[in-house]
Structure 1
Amino acid sequence: MKAFLILTALLAWLVPQARAGSRDITVGALAYGTFNWELTVIEREGLDRRQGFHLKIRKLANPQAGRIGLQGGSVDLIVTNWLWVARQRSGGHDFTAAPYSLTHGALIVPPDSPIRGIADLKGRRIGVAGSPLYENWILLKTLAKREYGLDLEQDARPVFGAPPLLNQQLRQGRLDALLNYWHYAARLEAAGYRRLLDGGELLTRLGVTPPVPTLSYVFRQRWAADRRDTVTAFLRAAYGAKDAICSDRRAWRYVAPLTGSTDPKIQAALRQRYCQGRLRHWGAPERKAAARLYALLHEAGGDALTGPAATLPRGTFWADFVLPR
């Protein structure tokens, strides 16, 4: 019995040590999401082996499944909005974020639309992706009020819905303008629709500079502390895959079928917007800009959007992140 107890205690010590030293990373990714683009390149080019880790991919049915998987421990890392991380940290959870992309959603109008600026949105039917808590909608409302005295909730006619359905409604003339996620906006641009402005421009006009990422790689801080080198290796591979997608024809051949379109114009538009979102700088100025954005969104969107904290919770962004070169 004594020997059994000693063996049990030894195994209880060894298993956490093995997990802490593990070079495996299980990531959750939507089969139709752009995160899957770089994961495919990592796999096909063996970038995980080159960086000394083993990539495991768990396909997700929807974004919520990724958050649930991360909370439950079935995945180690997902891509999601860093505002979710801030809300979780306000609740005492230790999730943290590393920047993923600067690509923002955009406000799109038909090619022949008379709408030339925000002031022209008065009285118009504006499609908005998702819900009233979509960050770009809150930023657009804030800018319209600040610069033009417009209350877009009252002075326009917002329509909230699923991104593909809204694209269809704009094409059918049922909407005058559409504020949609970037990849849906890119598809419209490929068909000749006109980009009025995007989330990055909204931030600049609201005084939030330098550029701030929208999405981030998200994982548990304690988990990353036990395997810092492995997480860094994954991020190095992921950023390398982004560069390959934008510069290597072979890498793009892996990705093109994942766009869900065989139209070269749509594929080119998606690739262009994706590549424009690559992060080139990350440091104190960017962190301060993220804090300013958080404060702005907290004031305009309230606890439902950001959580109860009036300022960006400490640790929202992973302190050990260094932009791969």
Structure 2
Amino acid sequence: SAVLAGAALLCGFAPPQNGGNAVAAVNVSDKEPEQRQKKKAAKNAAVQQPEAEDGERTIIDDSDVKRRADQTSLQEKLIWKNEYIVALAWNVDPAQYGVKREIVGKTVCYGKKTVQYADDQAVTEAVRQAIEQENGKPNGILPQELVLLLADGPFAGTADELALQFYREHNLLYFTAVIDEAGDETWTSILEQSYENGEMEYFAMVNDKKDSKIEVMKRELARRAARDGKTEFFAILSSELTEEELGACALEAYEGENMEIFYMAATGLNSQQADLIAEQAYEADRTEYIFAVIPRMSEEQRSALRERAKKDGRDELGYLF
């Protein structure tokens, strides 16, 4: 896509082509790789980050997982049921566990950290409900053997109350267990709060929820992210905007000299807007902005700037047009 091409060009990965003549791309930012990594990490925060900045544990302790050599895949999930948060992993080897129980047709194993819950009625009910919930999903718990990695509770309150509580407490691990059960008002509230606080890991978990209120909020935050220069958030939210809205963001980013936002929004420029920016960027010697608008420019403007570059002795720009 044009956005990906622009990003590649930003990083110097994809020099523009003109009639087979490659033009060396200008490396205009050394921050893009880091930002892309942060965006990817945010979407998988509960799996990839071993510890949050405030010391909160953000991954499941899977030291009790025992498998055979032929068991190469492992799935883990945190689920909130019956007022308890339980962490289950499946595709394990029950022969390596001393304590096991049969729950709704599944063999549930217990390691050193959870053996005390093997006969706990409340935790067993939470595990039963969790298994039944996952069994009804396309990518649910398919193997017969599971291990209980964590059990904590009881947590009194609704999913909405607990989601807000765990968010305020910066408890990302438990937040992941309850957020899917929360309602649209909680989702929009956390979406806005996490944007304001720059908490991408929470923002990314709510951003993929499907709801009309969420969609309205995401479009509003996309425009705000462009104005605020929050490139990581805009990278996720820009797809929510129309081409006209993206074009407006690109114009504002050009005036504000925010090149990263500009590159992500430039696909929304119409030919008249692209021609104007190309003319201004040429005169101001802001070559890096010209790269992004070339696909949107009119042939007339490209031809005019090509001839102008030749007359001005700027051969390196002549290739662009």
TM-score by length of 2: 0.20
1 or 2 for the larger relative contact order (CA 8 Å, sep ≥6)? Answer: 1
User: Normalized against structure 1, the TM-score is what?
Assistant: 0.20
Give 1 or 2: higher strand fraction.
1
Highest CA radius of gyration, 1 or 2? Answer: 2
